[in-house]
Amino acid sequence: MLCPYCRHSEQRVLDSRPSRDGSTIRRRRECCSCLRRFTTFEGLERQRLFVVKRGGSREEFNREKVFESMRVACRKRPVSVEVLREAASKVERDLFQEHDEEVASKQIGEKVMDELKAIDTVAYVRFASVYREFETVSDFTDIIEAMKRNRDLIRNSN
């Protein structure tokens, strides 16, 4: 690895820390030539996973798209960026564990909805309204009623 400032190849590692989910290692380095410091991140190179879209087209899975869709659903809600990043990482981990090469976009949407339901029910309804293409008010009331029934079932079983 070359220093980003002087392009020298020798550095020393000052500090190494794993990320919370254990998927990357953050290293603080110092160049032996110019003595400037910089940070690197080391992680496993993952296999490629392709998303099969509704129309049959394929594109490479992008965790940032998952994160961004969750962020939009949580706009003006009391949900931290860190919580959303962790949820997007969980969706990504689950997909890579469950699928080898391809995954249907529908399965990604369902996983995102599951995560949002646990984080913020308003964000869940927002995401569902776009993802499931709600067209009427009754579409909203149906999903809210289903959530209420599920909550009541959980209460009654305790």
In-domain check, residue 67: yes
Q: Return the pLDDT at 151.
A: 78
In-domain check, residue 152: no
Q: Return the pLDDT at 23.
A: 78
In-domain check, residue 62: yes
Instruction: Tell me the whole-structure pTM to 2 decimals.
Output: 0.67
Tell me the average pLDDT of the chain: 92
In-domain check, residue 81: yes
In-domain check, residue 153: no
Indicate whether 55 and 124 sit together in one domain. Answer: yes
Domain that holds residue 76: 50-128
- Altogether, the residues listed in the chain come to a count of 158
Burial class (CB within 10 angstroms; exposed 0-12, middle 13-18, buried 19+) of 2:
exposed
Number of domains in the chain: 2
Task: Check whether 46 has a pLDDT greater than 90.
Answer: no
Q: Return the pLDDT at 45.
A: 73
Task: Check whether 157 has a pLDDT greater than 90.
Answer: no
